[in-house]
Structure 1
Amino acid sequence: MSQIVLQLFMIALSSILFLFLLQVNGWLFTQFEWIAGVNWVYLPAGARLLCVLLFRTPGAIGIGLGSWLAGSYYVVHPDPVYTVIVSFLSAFSPYLVYLSLNNRHNLSASLTNLTPKLLVQCCFLFAITSAFLHHIWFAFYGHADASWQSFLVMVTGDFVGAILLLYFVKILLAVLRKSALKPKRN
């Protein structure tokens, strides 16, 4: 598979996973929405972090695209500039965390060196970074609910969503790896 096709696949997969988890989050956790776009549990945050950790730049591009599609067609905001900025922040915040952690821990694309402690730190750093950048934009834009309460809810929701998804994937990979190593009985 050529490098360009592979990168396009990673971009598309990241967008699709983000949009899928946004829909799942709406089905499962509607009652946990604080205000529009701020949730106590936010599974798409896990997709944002996971796709960037796995796919790096193509993952960030895919998340930005998926976020823009969601903002344009799913959670429609009347101002396209608002949607573009929120989409950029949705992609940039996990990428910034990835760059920071990769600099210190040399993260592998397979996530095998992502220890439980480092995974929690990664999710926490991502949740704070994402909520901070989003709330700076909300305050600049004049968003009515750019409060400390909203910030803390977003940190919590992004952290819980990221932990749930990343631990699910980490456990799934461990099970698949273990079953692949089992000797086959004839």
Structure 2
Amino acid sequence: MHLPEIRRSHIAIAVISGLLFSLSFRLNQYFDALFVYSAGISLLFLPAGVKLLAVLVGRLPAIVGIMVVSVHLGASIWPDKPMTAIVYFAFVSLMTYPIATLGVMRLFHIRKNLSNLRYHHIVVLSVVASILNGLVHNWLYLAQGVTTSEELWHKSAAMALGDFMGCFVVVAFFHAAMGVLRSARNPQID
């Protein structure tokens, strides 16, 4: 008994998204010496960009793949926290991206196939997702005792900046690559 083709593609998207998120997380650790603001906050966080791109392109299957990897990574980062707290934290911090994406796509009437996605949309998507994630993440950090109330706004701003930089770099790179591919498929004769 074979899974329908659509199911296989969903599984592939989930696996690829999870792997890319995990790889970007590991890659980002190489930049820690240059960009770490404080524990858990980097001023360049490439996984935020991978997460945003995966949500834009892969939708629900990508969210599932990233969720599984986020729980795995969270368990290794916080081995002293109960698994329920890790799952909750992974879910809430992940869902800021689809919420921001859905809102911006509706506001700017961006098509589901992203055919009308423009450079300024990338900036807005990156800003909205980053600010929302920075705030939600640090409220959760506060609830978990990772951040103090005195640090809340500074760390939220630092995380939003790092997420924005990661989102912008990854999604702008993807957008540029797609533009090159489109141009290669449709060469203009002068």
Counterpart of 2:84 in structure 1 is 81
Task: After TM superposition, list the pairs within 5 Å mapping 1:1-186 onto structure 2.
Answer: 2-73=5-76, 75-79=77-81, 80-145=83-148, 146-182=151-187
**Separation of aligned partners in 1, 2:110 and 2:97:** 14
Amino acid corresponding to residue 92 of structure 2 in structure 1: L
Shift in Å, 1:24: 1.1
Paired with 2:18 and 2:112, the residues of 1 have a C-alpha distance of: 18
Q: Deviations over 1:111-152 (max 9, x none)?
A: 331211121111000001111111121122222355221111
- In the alignment, the residues of structure 2 paired with residue 16 and residue 108 of structure 1 have an alpha-carbon distance, to the nearest angstrom, of 26
Aligned partners of 2:33 and 2:125: how far apart in 1?
26
Q: Tell me, in whole angstroms, the C-alpha distance in 2 between the residues paired with 1:97 and 1:36.
A: 25
Q: Provide the C-alpha distance between the structure 1 equivalents of 2:182 and 2:140, rounded to a whole number of angstroms.
A: 42
Worse-superposed segment, 13-22 or 140-149? 140-149
After TM superposition, give the deviation of residue 106 of structure 1 in Å. 3.6
Aligned residues: 182
**Is the contact made by 2:44 and 2:165 (CA closer than 8 Å) also made in structure 1?**
yes
Whole-angstrom CA distance in 1 between matches of 2:62 and 2:87:
17
AA paired with 1:10? Answer: I
Aligned structure 1 segments of 4 or more residues deviating by more than 6 angstroms = none
Q: Distance in 1 between matches of 2:54 and 2:44?
A: 18
Query: In 2, distance between residues paired with 1:82 and 1:158?
Result: 22
- Work out whether residues 77 and 83 of structure 1, in 8 Å CA contact, stay in contact via their aligned partners in 2: no
- Unaligned runs of 5+ residues in structure 2 are none
Change (3 A) 1:166 1:108: same
Q: Distance in 1 between matches of 2:8 and 2:40?
A: 33
Aligned-residue CA RMSD (Å): 1.8
Q: Distance in 1 between matches of 2:120 and 2:49?
A: 17
2:53 is aligned with what amino acid? L
Residue type of the alignment partner of 1:87: A
Q: Deviations over 1:56-84 (max 9, x none)?
A: 111211221121121123x3442123321
Bigger shift: residues 154-163 or 78-87:
78-87
- Is the contact made by 1:18 and 1:48 (CA closer than 8 Å) also made in structure 2? yes
Q: What is the TM-score when the length of structure 2 is the normalising length? A: 0.87
Secondary structure at the residue paired with 1:34? strand
